[in-house]
A = this chain, B = another copy of it.
Amino acid sequence: MEIKEEILHKAKLARTASRKLGILSTEVKNNAILKMADDLEKGIARIVEANKEDQENAQKQKRTKAFIDRLFLNEERIKDIASGLREIAKLPDPVGEVVKMWKRPNGMQVGKIRVPLGVIGVIYESRPGVTADAAVLCLKSGNSIILRGGSEAINSNRAIAGILSNAAVSCGIPNGAIQIIEITDREAVTELLKLDKYIDIIIPRGGEELIRMVKENSTIPVIRHDKGLCHTYVDGEADLEMAEKICFNAKVQRPGVCNAMETLLVNKNIADRFLPSMIEKYKKAGVEIRGCKRTKEIVKNIEDAKEEDWNTEYLDLILSVKVVDSIDNAISHIAEYGSGHSEAIVTNNYSNAQKFLKEVDASSVFVNASTRLADGNQYGLGAEMGISTQKLHCRGPMGLEDLTVLKYIVYGDGQIRE
């Protein structure tokens, strides 16, 4: 009952704050963000100390090196976070933009205006930098935020959220606009997910298990940030030099992230010419190749790709490779196994480029570019709340605009329904 009450209290406070926050001027919000960035830098010692506790706990729990690295904060990383916040202050304020307005035959003017979503709950794992990014993106877009990070980063998150919240309040941001849930008990999450009266949106960022738990328990609308099982299709009319560069980048540049390529599809007409040197280049970079039967006929000494390989997001230096007969086969393979994240074609054939863009159902579809470019900063949106892999509301990198929604406004002069 105590947990329930505390979560409810925070949710109500967030709702009350959101009413004031939604109508604040851009100037007040930006000044607060700059103060938050400054105070974050002033608080480096405090944050680093808190982070050490988290790291020690992670080591006691024998977490992997990658896990501990995601958790790690030092002066440099905190300064990077602070400058990220300053970048958000520079972005245009999406709130209040009238995106359309039209006149009806009865003389009334109907318009659509951008307004905040209201109260956003963010449930995330490990990286404590998310705490700052998410808080400031929500503040800039006029939304209250309730943060619920993982227990592994609780000390870091508490230190960061405390600094940010105090800085914000000192600049006129309403109390309750930025809150963190410090209860690491899972019950805190299940309680939160039922408060649809006070919370408008839940954004889960993390592994498949987290996403599934949220999806199954939330009565609040959810924006999923799910896995990325991304493909690159090298068409029969591709520039093979360009293809090699793009495919190498998509797999190797940073294999542990959601927009990295997991499966390479190659048209049979160029497979003989393309695969030997491509695979050699991959092998030199330490990539383990798992090929289909036809791939193995072209390049010897590689592992079999099994059915489960086409379904696997490796997030590692492993790549499955398949030779396909046609662009239609490539598109079908992607429809069956892709996760709707990011998909690319390399081709010089105009019709195939257009066909791929049109028919592939993913949040980002690329012609002649690396899937690694699917990213808010790369697209020029500034920082992102993550990458949405669902269909409702927004797909792909979720920037400031995606933290708002359009409401209708009507200017009348006495119109009634006849």
A residues adjacent to B (C-beta < 8 A): 19, 22-23, 96, 102, 104, 108, 110, 113, 115, 117-118, 196, 200-201, 215-216, 219, 221-223, 239, 242, 245-246, 249-250, 253-254, 335, 353, 357-359, 361-370, 372-375, 378-380, 390-397, 405-417
Q: Which one, B219, B394, B405, B409, contacts A365 given CB within 8 A?
A: B409
Establish whether residues B357 and A221, one from each chain, have CB atoms under 8 Å apart when the complex forms: no
Establish whether residues A413 and B102, one from each chain, have CB atoms under 8 Å apart when the complex forms: no
Establish whether residues A367 and B215, one from each chain, have CB atoms under 8 Å apart when the complex forms: no
> Looking at chain A's contact residues, is the secondary structure mostly helix, strand, loop, or mixed?
mixed
Establish whether residues B414 and A246, one from each chain, have CB atoms under 8 Å apart when the complex forms: yes
Please, how many angstroms separate the alpha-carbon atoms of A374 and B118 in the complex? 22
Closest residue of chain B to A22 (Cβ to Cβ) is B361
A327: min CB distance to chain B, Å: 13
Contacts of A117 in B (CB 8 A): 391-392
19 A-B residue contacts at CB 8 Å? A19-B359, A117-B391, A196-B215, A200-B392, A201-B392, A249-B416, A250-B416, A253-B417, A357-B409, A361-B407, A363-B407, A366-B410, A367-B410, A368-B415, A372-B417, A375-B417, A378-B417, A395-B407, A395-B408
Contacts of A104 in B (CB 8 A): 378-380
Establish whether residues B415 and A221, one from each chain, have CB atoms under 8 Å apart when the complex forms: no
Please, how many angstroms separate the alpha-carbon atoms of A74 and B215 in the complex? 43
Establish whether residues B222 and A221, one from each chain, have CB atoms under 8 Å apart when the complex forms: yes
Q: Which one, B216, B239, B335, B374, contacts A408 given CB within 8 A?
A: B374
Closest residue of chain B to A196 (Cβ to Cβ) is B215
Establish whether residues B369 and A407, one from each chain, have CB atoms under 8 Å apart when the complex forms: no
Establish whether residues A373 and B221, one from each chain, have CB atoms under 8 Å apart when the complex forms: no
- Chain A to chain B: the 9 pairs with minimum beta-carbon distance, closest first: A369-B412, A249-B416, A372-B417, A221-B392, A364-B408, A369-B415, A393-B393, A368-B412, A370-B416
Please, how many angstroms separate the alpha-carbon atoms of A335 and B102 in the complex? 27
Establish whether residues A405 and B395, one from each chain, have CB atoms under 8 Å apart when the complex forms: yes
Contacts of A23 in B (CB 8 A): 358-359
A223: min CB distance to chain B, Å: 7
Establish whether residues B417 and A405, one from each chain, have CB atoms under 8 Å apart when the complex forms: no
Contacts of A414 in B (CB 8 A): 239, 242, 245-246, 368-369
